[in-house]
Amino acid sequence: METKEKRMIIRILSCILLLGIGIFLKNKIGSLICYLLSYIIISYDRYIESFQNIKKKEFFDENLLMILATLGAFYLKSYQEGILVILLFQIGEFLSERAISKSKKSITELMDLRVEEIELKEKTKIPVEQAKVGDQFLVRPGDRIPLDGVVVEGSSYLDTSAITGESEPVFVSVGERIVSGCLNTSSTLLIEAQETYKTSTAQRIMELLEQEEDRKSKTETWIHRFAKIYTPLVLILGLLLFVIPTIMGGEVEVWFYRMLIFIVSSCPCALVISVPLGYFCGIGRASKSGILIKGSKELEDLSKIKMILLDKTGTLTDGVMKVGKVSSKRKKKDFLQLVASCEENSTHPIAQAVKKENKAPLRKVTNYEEFPGKGISCTIGKEKILVGNARWMEENKIELPEIETSHTIIYVGVNQEYEGYIEIMDSIKESSYQIKNQKNIVIVSGDKKKVVEMVAKELGIEDYYGELDPEGKEKVVKEYQAKGKVMFVGDGLNDALPLSKADIGVSLANIGTDAALEASDVVLMNNDISKILDAISLSKYTHRKVMQSICFALIVKAIVLFLGIFGLSTMLMAIFADVGVTLISIINVLLIFTYQEKED
């Protein structure tokens, strides 16, 4: 327990003790002194906080409401009731802050993937911030991977749950790339750093999560504005509730007391505390499943998604391409060497497949240009080479032969003449079958229509588009946005334009690419496409819990306020409408963290 919490417990117990002494003392002056001491001990921080807010020109808050209510009770010589109001308020605040602190701590610990020190190959330890790309470091069993890198020596099982949400351990060995934040569970690994501390996956994830508070949902923004108007309005209405009846001949003490009940029960704590906490829990719960949501605004928008547009390559399919048939005027070896040389600087899965298939040394390339959604243009020696899809060839007026295939084709043109093609084969991901027959899903791909049609039929998806460049994908996004909010899911590299134009852009992390973390509102850290349905379901669950807390708080307060006008509410009921409702609302939104997938 922290010092601040211990101090508050001592204050609460001291207040209760002095209040008890004051009640049982028969000496009026002695009782009054005990009451005053009890009140000062329990309330002084509220006066300090209220005064500091006034200096910031924030005149109306819950502290002012409580101070006015307790001073009013003292004016009516209801000392016990006045102390009880602030005492129960402080107890409620203490329990609320403790619950929030514990939940935030557990979520933060769950998501805290950073390592402070790194052990170099020479067995010397340095701060992880000082490590450089190329440094080789040891990761022993039980330690977290500090930097993204490649395994140089050893093999081991990694717990990747903090990054991907997957519970099954992953086996890694020499040559495999691993990301920071994973936990080494079995054997010592020697890893060569490929990223620095600032650019490593774990640090980038933590930075995004820490920036979450700057991306507030509409509900949070509304509550914040509502509280600013609500508090002064409550004071004005409370004052009118006292002034009007007394002018008309009502008893001053009776209506003054009702005004105090009105002020106490109107305190907006339940709304101001529970709404941001609810979205924080939702984001934390999503992270636990390997779904990185960048802010409460994005979490709220997920609940309103009407259509899901999916890229195909690397999203619905494995993206681990293999070269199939190769057709060319040249020898297969020479043709693969030519195309692989052109693709040297490309990170596209198709380019990776060609480079992997090629066994010959790469040739020198000049005048390299990449055209997203189309292909590549470059020069090798005296030959101007074009590599890409049919649309790219047509734009460059290169005639193509008719080719019957259900696989992806990349064409090659040399000096404005057709040179040949390479067939690229891909397979549908296992996780893609979990979204089979979903009615609100559309495939939007740059691949051949026949290839897209084959994937769509396999997954039971009725609507699909093929042979689209990034501008074409953007156009489709805008068409569907006319009917409601649209999510676009892509690889974060070639789909930057539609990702940015969609209401919610979702990237598959592809094991920690920078573009995936920056281009989108949501990142699926384990590349499991079915997680988009979990993200939407969790968003709806979070929104439902937040709205339950808002409605519950407003209804209870309205009832107590209404009864208070007719003298049917007591100060204890008013305290429940404030403190009790706040605690219940907090407990309700904390349940978000216990959410089970496939809830809806």
Determine the Cα–Cα distance for residues 158 and 180; give it in Å rounded to an integer: 11
Consecutive H or E run containing 424? strand 417-425
With beta carbons less than 8 A apart as the criterion, state whether 315 and 489 touch.
Answer: yes
Burial letters for 4-19: b for 16+ Cβ neighbours within 10 Å, e otherwise? eeeebeebbeebeebb
- Active-site residue, from 61, 148, 159, 311: 311
Determine the Cα–Cα distance for residues 4 and 267; give it in Å rounded to an integer: 24
User: How many residues belong to the chain?
Assistant: 600
Q: What is the largest CA-CA distance in the chain?
A: 112
State the number of CA atoms in the 13 A half-sphere of 396 facing the CB: 24
Which is it for the CA torsion 510, 512, 514, 517, positive or negative?
Answer: positive
Joined tokens for residue 539: 């968003």
Task: Describe the chain by its helix, strand, coil percentages, rounded to 5.
Answer: 50, 20, 30
Q: What is the per-residue DSSP string for 204-234? A: HHHHHHHTGGGS--HHHHHHHHHHHHHHHHH
Joined tokens for residue 2: 């922290």
Q: How many other C-beta atoms can be found within 10 angstroms of the C-beta atom of residue 359? A: 9
269-288 helix and 581-590 helix, angle to the nearest 10 degrees = 10
Q: How many other C-beta atoms can be found within 10 angstroms of the C-beta atom of residue 513? A: 18
Determine the Cα–Cα distance for residues 309 and 460; give it in Å rounded to an integer: 14
- What are the Cα distances from residue 403, in Å, to 139, 279, 327, 523? 51, 52, 11, 37
Determine the Cα–Cα distance for residues 288 and 164; give it in Å rounded to an integer: 8
With beta carbons less than 8 A apart as the criterion, state whether 343 and 351 touch.
Answer: yes
Determine the Cα–Cα distance for residues 526 and 179; give it in Å rounded to an integer: 12
Consecutive H or E run containing 522? strand 522-524
Determine the Cα–Cα distance for residues 507 and 292; give it in Å rounded to an integer: 10
Consecutive H or E run containing 572? helix 571-575
Give residue 130's identity as a one-letter amino acid code. Answer: Q
Give residue 328's identity as a one-letter amino acid code. Answer: S
Determine the Cα–Cα distance for residues 395 and 550; give it in Å rounded to an integer: 57
Joined tokens for residue 134: 């190329």
- What are the Cα distances from residue 225, in Å, to 50, 66, 232, 266, 272? 19, 20, 12, 16, 10
Catalytic, 61? Answer: no
- Backbone conformation region of residue 328, classed left if phi is above 0, alpha if psi is from -120 to 50, else beta: beta
349-357 helix and 332-342 helix, angle to the nearest 10 degrees = 140
Residues known to be catalytic: 311
